[in-house]
Amino acid sequence: MARPADSKARDALICAARERFVQHGLKGARIEDITKACGLSKGAFYLHFKSKEALFEELLQAFGERVRELLSTRQLETIEFLKAEGMLTAADVRQQAPRYLHYIELSNKHNLDVLELCWEYRDVVHVVVRGVQDTAFAGTAWDMLSQALSHLEYQEQMFIERGTLRQDLAAGLVPAMLVGTYSMLCFQMTSMKQKPDFGVWAHGVNRLLYEGCAALIQHVSSAEHEETLETPLLTATENCCLGAGKTKRRNS
Amino acid sequence: MARPADSKARDALICAARERFVQHGLKGARIEDITKACGLSKGAFYLHFKSKEALFEELLQAFGERVRELLSTRQLETIEFLKAEGMLTAADVRQQAPRYLHYIELSNKHNLDVLELCWEYRDVVHVVVRGVQDTAFAGTAWDMLSQALSHLEYQEQMFIERGTLRQDLAAGLVPAMLVGTYSMLCFQMTSMKQKPDFGVWAHGVNRLLYEGCAALIQHVSSAEHEETLETPLLTATENCCLGAGKTKRRNS
DNA sequence: GCAATAAATGACTCGAGGGTTATTAACTCC
DNA sequence: GGAGTTAATAACCCTCGAGTCATTTATTGC
């Protein structure tokens, strides 16, 4: 006994909003343009969403959920692997033991999963990185990167403690390089029409980094790089932020 | 026979504007807030600048000029070095020859120069990366990264052609990792109060990457990584952009 | 002190865009 | 087909901020 909503209306609004957000940022996107793009009126928008920000938060929640899933399965599977195959030793790395190659394989799989997800949500990523300044979401990109960083730092720590990795690199360096390289890739993909071949990329990065570490391990006893680099680095926890610090938390 | 302008007014306006731009982005910064911050009225702003955008462009020009200087001296000094010391060979890298270590030293110096410059202009960098969407400057960050990328790709190409570097990594991978890592660092530094120790960082990155390449060179003949990764990759020239593509060029 | 001149002010206009609401359209159930 | 209900519309209000300009203020040369 009532007029039912056009089932496509809500989805159409979300879709149009995503496009506008990418082009103009969260603030810059005009509600009237969004509704016009799907043949609706401004009022219709407020029928489905409390505000532009609420719509965006919805998108972000979905993405964040997926990210959290990925991170936690990565965590689980890594621990599982190490339980099953035993902790990696420096010798494994040096000799490119099957166990080590297997580990790289696993790590690679996880990296690819992340890239795929970012591709799926590339518009949202784009907005989070470059379109939310002066908004409740201003710190979100950094928050997400921080999660990834501290996650990888945890793994690095494990490896360092067990002697798998050299200790003479600044702690956090490898995680930061990984996150830096991958976020560069995400940054790039937000402006691409064709999905690039992530496999080639991820594989190369992995080889460079892991074999770089292996190379260092071989040189351990050689005297030429003596200075231990133990300055604490740039960790995720170093949140001595200026801009990001004044992130107004969401007031939904 | 006229009232002279307060000599400090213009500088004060620029200074206040930079602060506001960081906090709220180019569009989000209000002219009246900028002027209020240095005890002036809105009208005074238009006495010194045509618009907010004109002021920002001025900042950007200064930064861009410095960047171009750095890139060209890097280019010059690298070529000069290679002329003086001869082209590096794979053997140099493998054996960590003085010539090779010297080269790394040089490269490191240039990297540090870039980091220092970014630190000096960290507020401008911050704005360019995150505060110019829906603005004439929307594509600027990417333009600048592209310059750096293609510059490094040129060097990489040189090394690959002469056989110094392995050819079985995706072309552009090392440049992209460098730019990715360094821009991650820039991204981080825009929210830091204390200047971090760039030396430690740059040194670690260099060692990882170069020794990673060296390690690969050692494995050249080993059969275990066979597939040649020759997919063209993500080069600077791949400007198949969506968002960045519709950058309205400046209309000053 | 006074005229001339340029700096600086702040009240003003104006357009843009977020959010509201009275009204109309469309649908369902009886 | 009519009552009841909800979707959707579009005119409206309101705030905010860019840019303007008549007016005031400060300074200099005489």
pLDDT at B219 over 60: no
Alpha-carbon torsion angle B37, B42, B45, B50, nearest 10: 140
Question: Which residue's structure tokens are 């060692």?
Answer: B207
Cα gap A195→B161, rounded to integer Å: 29
Chain A CB contacts of B134 under 8 Å are 23-25, 28
Percent pLDDT > 90 in chain B is 43
Q: Please report, for residues A6, A73, A92, A94, A124, the alpha-carbon distance to residue A97 in angstroms, rounded to integers and kept in the order given.
A: 59, 24, 5, 8, 40
Read off the amino acid at residue B200.
V
Which of chain A's residues have a Cβ under 8 Å away from the Cβ of B224? 96
Distance (Å, whole) CA A165 – CA A161: 8
Q: Distance, angstroms, CA B48 to C1' C15?
A: 25
Residue A205 near chain B (CB below 8 Å): yes
- The separation, in Å, between residue A50 CA and nucleotide C20 C1' comes to 13
pLDDT given at position A218: 53
Whether the pLDDT of residue A156 is over 90: the answer is: no
Q: Does the beta-carbon distance from A180 to B180 stay under 8 Å?
A: yes
pLDDT at A249 (0 to 100): 36
Is the CB of residue B5 inside 7 Å of nucleic acid strand C? yes
Please state the rounded mean pLDDT for residues A121-138: 94
- Say what the pLDDT of residue A49 is: 95
CA distance B186 to B168: 30
Look at B82-86, B110-114, B156-160 and tell me which has the smallest mean pLDDT. B156-160
Chain A contacts of B212, Cβ < 8 Å? Answer: 207-209, 211-212, 215
**Which nucleotides of strand D lie within 7 A of protein CB?**
3-11, 16-22, 25-29
Q: Does any strand C atom come closer than 7 Å to the Cβ of B215?
A: no
Residue of B nearest to A23 (CA): B243
A17-26, A44-53, A99-108, B26-35: which has the minimum mean pLDDT? A99-108
Residue B118 banded pLDDT, cuts 50, 70, 90: very high
CB contact under 8 A, B240 and A193: yes
Residue B67 clears pLDDT 60, i.e. is over it = yes
In sequence order, which residues have a C-beta less than 8 Å from that of residue B52 and are 6 or more positions away? B17, B26, B29, B31
Query: Is A36:B142 a contact under the CB 8 Å cutoff?
Result: no
Residues of A in contact with B177 (CB under 8 A): 177, 181, 205, 208
User: How many CB pairs below 8 A link A and B?
Assistant: 179
Cβ–Cβ gap B243/A191 under 8 Å:
yes
Q: Does residue A226 belong to the interface with chain B, where contact is any CB pair within 8 Å? A: no
Predicted pLDDT of residue B210: 74
Q: What is the pLDDT of residues A186-238, one digit of tens each?
A: 877 887 899 988 888 888 888 778 777 766 555 443 333 333 333 333 333 33
CB-CB under 8 Å, B215 with A211: yes
Chain B residues close to A229, C-beta within 8 Å: 200, 203-204
Q: Which of A228-232, B49-53, B167-171, B179-183 is the least confident region?
A: A228-232
Of B25, B182, B234, the CB nearest to A133: B25
Model confidence band, residue B50 (pLDDT cutoffs 50, 70, 90): very high
Tell me the three-class secondary structure of chain B, residue by residue. Answer: CCCCCCCCHHHHHHHHHHHHHHHHHHHHCCHHHHHHHCCCCHHHHHHHCCCHHHHHHHHHHHHHHHHHHHHHHHHHHHHHHHHHHCCCCHHHHHCCCHHHHHHHHHHHHHHHHHHHHHHHCHHHHHHHHHCCCCCCCCCHHHHHHHHHHHHHHHHHHHHHHCCCCCCCCCCCHHHHHHHHHHHHHHHHHCCCCCCCCHHHHHHHHHHHHHHHHHHHHHCCCCCCCCCCCCCCCCCCCCCCCCCHHHCCCCCC
CB A169 within 8 A of CB B169: no
Choose which CATH entry (1.10.10.60, 1.10.760.10, 3.40.47.10, 3.30.2350.10) describes domain A1-49. 1.10.10.60
Residues 95-134 of A with CB under 8 A from B: 96, 126, 129-131, 133-134
Ranges of each domain in chain B: 1-49, 58-251
Q: A122-136, A155-169, B107-121, B212-226: lowest mean pLDDT where?
A: B212-226
Q: Is B70 exposed, middle or buried (0-12, 13-18, 19+ CB in 10 A)?
A: middle
Nearest-Cα residue of chain A relative to residue B130: A130
| Mutation for B interface: A182, A197, A234, A247, most B CBs within 10 A | A234
CA distance A165 to chain B (A): 12
Task: Provide the pLDDT for residue A244.
Answer: 29
Q: Which of A24, A146, A188 to mutate to test the interface with B (most CBs of B within 10 A)?
A: A188
